[in-house]
Structure formats: C-alpha cells, structure tokens
C-alpha cells in the first residue's frame, strides 16, 4: 500500500533574482512524501513556469503518477514509466522520493546504492543575479566563500555588470546569458569575455538557433554550454558540434534516472557535463548533488539563495559540495 502526501512550500529569496526574461522574489515548490511499508521517501518539484508548469499541475501529475505505480521498490525507471507528459518537475519529485525510499529501506546512502564516490565532488559556482553594478559588487563580497562565480547576463548592462564583478574579485567567472543574445551580440562579446577571465558561457542564443550555435561555437575561444536547448537525453545527439557541453537539471529532465542517461549520451558525444538547478530547497539540491561525482561543473546553489530552507542536506565546504551520510538522500526536515 502506497500513501502519498504533498504540500507546497514558499521559498523566499535573499535577493530579488533577475534574469534576461524577468525578476522574482521567491517561488513555490511542491514537497512530496511517498510512504511504503512505514518508510517515507521525500521528493521536491520546482515547476518551471517558463514551460507552463506550476505547483497545481505538478500536484495533479504526482497524484496520477503515484496511482499508476505498482511496486515502489523498482525505482530505476518507475517514475519514467508513469510520467505525465509535460510535467518533468513532478516526475523528478517522484523519482527522487522512490530513490530516497530505496536507500532508507536498505539503510544505505543513495550514493552508495548508486556506487558513486562522494569524495570526488566538484566545486559549485555561486550565482550573482542581474543588478546595478554597485549591488553586484556587494553580492560578490557576500559570496567570498565560493571559488567560482556565475554571472547572469543578457541585459543592456552586461558590460558594466561584468566589469563590476571583475573589479571586486579575481575568481573564475561563468557567464549565463539565458538565451539573451543575438548571434552578432554573442560573437562580439566572446573575446572580451575571455579577456575578463570567464571560463565558459551558458546558452548565449535562443534555444532553437542550432545552426547559429554551431557557427558561434567554431568562432568561440570559450566553451559553450547548452541549458535551455537541452531537456532530455534524446536532445543531445543533435547538439553535438553546436555546444561543448550540456547543463542537466532534474526539473527539466524528470529525475536522476534520466540525468544518468543524459550523462552517458553526452560523454559518448565527447561533451562536458554541468549540473544545474532551479530555486530549490536542500531536498532537491541534495538529490542533484548525488550526480556531481559524474560531472565536470556544478551549479547547485539554489538552496543557498533562499532565506528559510525547510530541509538540511548537502552542504558546501570551501565551495565544494558535501553529501550527507544518512540513508537514502540523507535529507532531514529542519
Ligand atoms: Mg542556465
């Protein structure tokens, strides 16, 4: 007998977060509990409004999925088998809850169940949102514990913002344009970005512009990583040659199972792998962090940008992710 419970949580941000396509002060995520034989697996959905999802649609999808689950012990592709099309965040929540449940049932951390080494975690970048140059400098100082910064771009203020960050620190910077540039804008910025000590650029062009991305990649002195252009493993073969790597997010792909497939497909195409996130609590961030030993870059700072995290899970030590040692995801309520 499977029992399902869910609730929405309000995650409030420390700073208003600006992207090339809008601003936000917080978000609502869905927390999912799947109980089987007295053990509770935890999952979290961060529905992406940009792709027409919200907590209500995610809750409906989780309901429908859990009703179709037969044996929750067969976690490997269970969430994918019962997935509701267009609701990858709900799928990710069910997938992580089933994996949490499996680890707790066996009494081992999920990384042990997956055969992964928690000692080889990459550093995570810390995101500096779009802001006025003076505010950017303050945010950079607040992020002094992080060895790599990520700067959101794609506005008219790109140059003063990056210059403000560079004045405030000599740490490596990753730039995310969130589809905010035209081909000519991207081309004219790349060399300057390299001179500014930027180590890679995420999604410079709108997702559909594959031919232009291919051309840009050939001209680029910096690696270009696909984010909005890639959702699942099936997207990857056509991106090879147009991007140097992919950004995997559980909320885009539908969970750890699909993320593992994406890593395998990207590696087969000689591509780099970055692990990203939405604004998420420590619950979903810890699930994503379980894949970090397999990735080149981590950008798992969603839980560090919120005021009251409802969970305790993966932590960050000198910028490096540290997985909790408890069974399953190892995440507990605060
Ligand atoms: Mg991105």
Q: What is the pLDDT of residues 87-141, one digit of tens each?
A: 999 999 999 999 999 999 999 999 999 999 999 999 999 998 777 878 888 889 9
Q: Is the pTM of this model over 0.85?
A: yes
What's the 81 CA to ligand 1 centre distance in angstroms? Answer: 28
Which of 278, 223, 206, 282 is CA-nearest to residue 249?
A: 278
Tell me the CA–centroid distance for residue 201 and ligand 1, in Å: 9
Please give the C-alpha separations between residue 54 and each of 47, 114, 256, in angstroms, as whole numbers.
Answer: 5, 31, 21
**How many whole angstroms from 102 Cα to the centroid of ligand 1?**
31
List domains and CATH numbers for the chain. 2-110 (3.30.390.10), 113-333 (3.20.20.120)
Please report, in tens digits, the pLDDT of each residue of the chain (334 residues total).
999 999 999 999 988 877 667 788 899 999 999 999 999 999 999 999 888 999 999 999 999 999 999 899 999 989 999 999 999 999 999 999 999 999 999 999 999 999 999 999 999 999 987 778 788 888 899 899 999 999 988 888 889 999 999 999 999 999 999 999 999 999 999 999 999 999 999 999 999 999 999 999 999 999 999 999 999 999 999 999 999 999 999 999 999 999 999 999 999 999 999 999 999 999 999 999 999 999 999 999 999 999 999 999 999 999 999 999 999 999 999 9
Cα 33 to ligand 1 centroid, rounded to whole Å: 29
CB 178 within 8 A of CB 20: yes
How remote is the CA of residue 176 from the centroid of ligand 1, in Å? 6
The Å distance, Cα 229 to ligand 1 centre, comes to 10
| Distance in Å, CA 62 to ligand 1 centroid | 26
> Which among 245, 325, 333, 225 has a CA at the least distance from the CA of 282?
333
Residue 78 parent element (H or E): helix 78-81
From ligand 1's centre to the CA of 253, what distance in Å? Answer: 14
């Amino acid at each position: 007998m499977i029992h399902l419970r869910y609730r929405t949580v309000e995650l409030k941000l420390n700073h208003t977060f600006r992207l090339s396509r809008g601003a936000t002060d917080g978000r609502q995520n869905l927390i999912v509990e799947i109980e089987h034989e007295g053990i509770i697996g935890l999952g979290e959905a961060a529905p992406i409004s940009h792709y027409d999802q919200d907590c209500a649609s995610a809750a409906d999808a989780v309901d429908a999925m859990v009703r179709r689950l037969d044996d929750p012990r067969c976690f490997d592709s269970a969430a994918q088998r019962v997935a509701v099309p267009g609701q990858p965040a709900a799928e990710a929540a069910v997938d992580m809850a089933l994996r949490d449940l499996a680890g707790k049932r066996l009494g081992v951390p999920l990384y042990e169940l997956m055969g992964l080494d928690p000692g080889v975690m990459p550093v995570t970048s810390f995101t500096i949102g779009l802001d006025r140059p003076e505010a950017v400098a303050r945010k950079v100082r607040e992020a002094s514990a992080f060895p790599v910064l990520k700067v959101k771009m794609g506005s008219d203020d790109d140059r003063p913002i990056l210059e403000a960050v560079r004045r405030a620190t000599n740490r490596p910077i990753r730039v995310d344009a969130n589809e905010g540039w035209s081909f000519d804008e991207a081309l004219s910025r790349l060399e300057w970005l390299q001179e500014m000590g930027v180590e890679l650029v995420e999604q410079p062009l709108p997702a559909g512009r594959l031919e232009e991305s291919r051309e840009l990649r050939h001209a680029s002195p910096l690696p270009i990583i696909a984010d909005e252009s890639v959702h699942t493993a099936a997207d990857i073969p056509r991106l090879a040659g147009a991007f140097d790597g992919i950004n995997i997010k559980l909320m885009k792909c539908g969970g750890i199972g699909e993320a593992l497939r994406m890593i395998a497909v990207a590696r087969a195409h000689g591509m780099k792998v970055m692990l990203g996130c939405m604004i998420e609590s420590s619950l979903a961030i810890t699930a994503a962090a379980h894949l970090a030993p397999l990735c080149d870059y981590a950008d798992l700072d969603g839980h560090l940008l919120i005021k009251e995290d409802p969970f305790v899970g993966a932590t960050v030590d000198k910028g490096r992710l540290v997985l909790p040692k408890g069974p399953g995801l190892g995440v507990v309520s605060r």
